[in-house]
Structure 1
Amino acid sequence: MAKGDEKEVDEEAKGGGRKKLIIIALPVIVLVLAAAYFFVLKPKEDSSGAAKALPAPTPGTVAPLDSITVNLAGAHFLKIGIALQPTADVKETPDGSMALDQVINVFSNLTVKELTSAEGKDAAKKELVARIKLAYLPHDKITHEEIEKANESVSGGKVKETDDLTAAQAEKRAAALTVQPEVYDVYFTEFVMQ
């Protein structure tokens, strides 16, 4: 072999080494970048796998609703009044009819005994707030299909409609919302049992 041929062979060998280095290094770099995204940049989830909770919105002006009477178990009734506090970015005060429907759904057929204890009243209010928040989701930001999917997720695939969720499922669903509901909080303005 001539000296010129030897130089060409050495240069080809060096070039082949570079190609092998690139072929080996490229997948390693991709793996390092993927690991960096997964451990550093990926949005954090809590231990249950749910997305981070929404930041607390700015509360708006409290709007009282007319009191209604709800039938309780054992021929008793409850006269209940609530006030809705929408978020500050809601342009109009939300229609109270959906909230009053939820009051009827939550309190109907409860016993006086359940509602006279602080724990029972707090549990009913907690469920009511959760159900009202779910009722006042902005429909321009979340689709009916997304709502059904979230309901199926908290119910183990058994329930599609929000009204069919148990109290615990409704509370879990409301706590995991990724869209801000129009209602910030609910207050009792009247609570009289007979």
Structure 2
Amino acid sequence: MSVLDMAEVEPEEEQGGGRKKMLLVGVLVVALAAAAWWWFMMRPAAADQEPEPGEVLQLEPIQVNLEGGHYLRIGVALQAVEGAEEVEGSKALDATIELFTGESVESLANEKHRHRLKDELVEQLEESYEKEVIGVYFTDFVTQ
């Protein structure tokens, strides 16, 4: 191999090394772009975090007709999110009446059933109050 032949080989080897560097830079750019996309588009937003509890609005107890001529005296308090607009209780009272009317005294005595009803009430109120109510407390619960 002569000196001229070696001169021709070296630029080709440099090109191969240049291609590797370009490929590496391209992979890094794609990886950074994917990371940036995930950061701005896919990561959980602050709005997805649990809302901070705010004011508790206690409503006057109401009486609900139960099965067999019995009734339930139930008091409800609403846990609003921090910074919620003024939460008024008419939607909560209506949902409570709809949910508990016609239940039997025996079913309300069952703790698991009562918790299922409470969970259902919370779901209804979160929707009705557009996520401004995050919890419900029973302040009075008497059957007769």
**When the two structures are superposed, what TM-score results if normalisation uses the length of structure 1?**
0.54
Native 8 Å contact 2:76 2:137 kept in 1 = yes
For the 8 Å contact 1:59–1:184, the answer to whether it is kept is: no
Residue 89, structure 1, aligned to residue 39, structure 2: no
Change (3 A) 1:34 1:78: same
Residue 49 (structure 2) pairs with residue 54 (structure 1): yes
Amino acid at match of 1:89: G
TM-score by length of 2: 0.68
Unmatched tracts of structure 2, length 5 or more? none
Structure with greater Cα Rg: 2
CA RMSD of aligned residues (A): 3.4
Deviation at 1:13, TM superposition (A): 0.9
- Please state how far the C-alpha of 1:130 moved relative to its aligned partner: 2.9
Task: Report the number of matched residues.
Answer: 135
Q: Cα offset for 1:23?
A: 5.1
Please show how residues 4-83 of structure 1 align to structure 2 within 5 Å. 7=7, 9-22=8-21, 24-26=23-25, 28-29=27-28, 37=35, 43=43, 54-55=49-50, 57-60=52-55, 62-83=56-77
**1:184, distance to aligned residue in structure 2 (A):** 3.5
CA distance in 2, matches of 1:63, 1:32: 50
Percent identity over paired residues: 34
Shift of 1:74: 2.7
Are residues 1:193 and 2:115 paired?
A: no
- Shift of residue 57, structure 1, vs aligned partner: 1.0
* Contact 2:51/2:81, CA 8 A, preserved across alignment: no
The match for 1:183 is: 133
Please point out which of 119, 129, 137 is paired with 1:136: 129
1:21 Cα offset (Å): 1.0
Whichever structure has more helix as a proportion of its residues is 2
**Contact 2:51–2:82, Cα closer than 8 Å, also in 1:** no
Q: Distance in 1 between matches of 2:59 and 2:29?
A: 58
Aligned-pair CA distance for 1:133: 2.2
